[in-house]
Amino acid sequence: MHRVVGSRTPPGGAPHFAAGQVYDYRMSEVNLSSKKENAQQIECFQRNPRRLGLRSFLERLQMISRWLGPFLLSPLWLIPLSLAAQVSSDRLLHSSVEPQNWLTYSGDYSSHHYSPLQQISLANVKYLELKWVFQAQSLQKFESTPLVVDGVMYITQAPNDIVALDPKTGRVFWVYHYSPSPDAKPCCGRVNRGVAILGDTLFMATIDAHLVAIDAKNGHPVWNVKVAEASAGYAMTLAPLVIKNKVLVGVAGGEYGIRGFIAAYEAQTGEEAWRFYTIPGPGEPGHETWSGDAWSHGGASVWLTGSYDPDLNLTYWGVGNPGPDYNAAQRPGDNLYSDSVVALDPDTGRLKWFFQFTPNDSHDYDSVQIPVLIDTNWNGSTRKVLLWANRNGFFYVLDRTNGKFLSGWPFIKVNWASGLDEATGRPILTPHLPGTPTYPGGQGGTNWYSPSYSPNTGLFYISTWESYGAIFQGVPVEYKEGQHFGGGIITAPIPGEQIPNSMGRGPINTDTDAAGHGAVIAVDPHTGEKKWSFDMYDVNTSGILTTASDLVFAGGREGYFQALNAKSGALLWKANVGGETVAAPITYQVDGKQYVVIASGNSLFAFALRK
């Protein structure tokens, strides 16, 4: 079920919405039979207005107003006409040349989450002030990262609404409402992280595992396809990735024992083009890393957006944990391609290479983090590398042409492994006695929060959970379709303490520093050296944005949105936004003014420089 509503009531009162009905304000109460006559009168007036006397002029002006009135009152009239200039695949490829927009989930295909905009600088960032606030009609976590396209912002509000906003004022142009099936059961909140765009069509993945296409001009539905079965635990919470003429998505549901996959759909029709299963089936390479029928419900979900290298024509996606989450003894073997990065041909879905970060994972160390692509001088020669701050606590540098391990090191406290094999990057496991704490805990050293890479500083910026551990105990669990398939118990490493909850907390932080704390850290990806750390009292669930003016923007669970010096980590500015940040900030420019926006609590806040 869906509906589209505008921000103003049309003449004649509010419309009644039946199930699936779309109301278009632009043509309400227009006498269509008079269009030709009125158009002729407009044309006559434009040719020679002096022929008309004042009375005649006013009569015709009144007639024109009656014809155009409902259209001019419609909020759709206020949407910039430039939106008609479609977002081609070429524009997505070269998004860096139009920094006034934010065209993909991570800002560009390389997923730097970086902007070349410089109007907000180190010198004037202290003069940022709140310009507008959008209040979402949802009490779920606000995890969405907006797109900004030619003067229109598109953002999702949980669970599956799309809202078109004026990025200068926050005024709503239209709202598309999608009602998920009651069978939907996402593990970690009824949330959505954003949309993708191609041409004049928006694409949204839903928590009941559908992919929908929406007209970006008016919010009208274009097509709707079922991707997987929600009752079996499949869901989608990620923002899709558009590559050429295809829309790529991955499925969540590892906690319910799904068999994960990435799929591509034709943008024009919604027809499925290919499907890559993240657990190999019988007869496929990698199937031998599973025992018995564990592969058929082994998890390996894909719930964050991938990246793309157009020169290599490869798209990179992180794969989640195996199932059951915590009882590795129940599924002997490396369990490919769980906890891996896979490099796929976006035209065919064919696997080109993979790299597994955590074989036979027993700590829920999903490897779904955002793959960050850079071209850099590595040991004297230019290489295409992939940077990865992994949930397991290690930072990796891979050659993205072939998946070769180049370097890696821990970026937070790690004790489940003593290091990484210098040749293969495989973790060197450390023995663990039952009941002893493991670092990092189940939420990892970082998680799904977007990192950022600044080509200005050459540093990689990560939201981390510092000194955070847990005690893991695997327990046998029987797979039953649609039921939780965790297979374990997690407790705090310190008696009397509680484990920080990644799902959020109340208005008072009852966690202590002994349970861990959050930070934004800057790492040199060539050496592993931590350049600086901006510590927080609470754990950190915010994504990160960097800009060409050497600014770092990040939120946190303490209710603040702050700007830091990208080179030193010094705090330059902060604002109280009153709620937890579980999304990534973005920046854009409209009519010569740069804005920075962040979702916090249940609202979206937009800041710009004081006049």
Name the nearest CA neighbour of 285 among 343, 337, 322, 361: 337
Tell me the β-bridge partners of 377: 382
Distance separating alpha carbons of residues 196 and 146, to the nearest angstrom: 9
Strand order in the sheet with 221-226: 196-198, 201-205, 210-215, 221-226
State the Cα torsion 421-427-432-435 to the nearest 10°.
150
Phi/psi of residue 63, nearest 5 degrees: -65, -45
Tell me the β-bridge partners of 588: 595
Q: Is the dihedral of CA 99, 105, 111, 114 positive or negative?
A: positive
Active-site residues, by number, are 364
Burial (CB count <10 Å: 0-12, 13-18, 19+), residue 60? middle
Q: Is the dihedral of CA 6, 9, 11, 12 positive or negative?
A: positive
DSSP state of 211: E
Name the nearest CA neighbour of 193 among 395, 443, 1, 370: 370
Which residues, at least 6 apart from 148, have a Cβ–Cβ distance to it below 8 Å?
100, 101, 102, 103, 154, 167, 586, 588, 590
C-alpha of 577 from chain center: 20
Q: Tell me, what amino acid is at 131? A: K
Burial (CB count <10 Å: 0-12, 13-18, 19+), residue 295? buried
Name the nearest CA neighbour of 181 among 238, 233, 222: 233
C-alpha of 146 from chain center: 9
Name the nearest CA neighbour of 252 among 305, 313, 289: 305
SS3 readout for 243-284: ECCEEEEECECHHHCCECEEEEEECCCCCEEEEEECCCCCCC
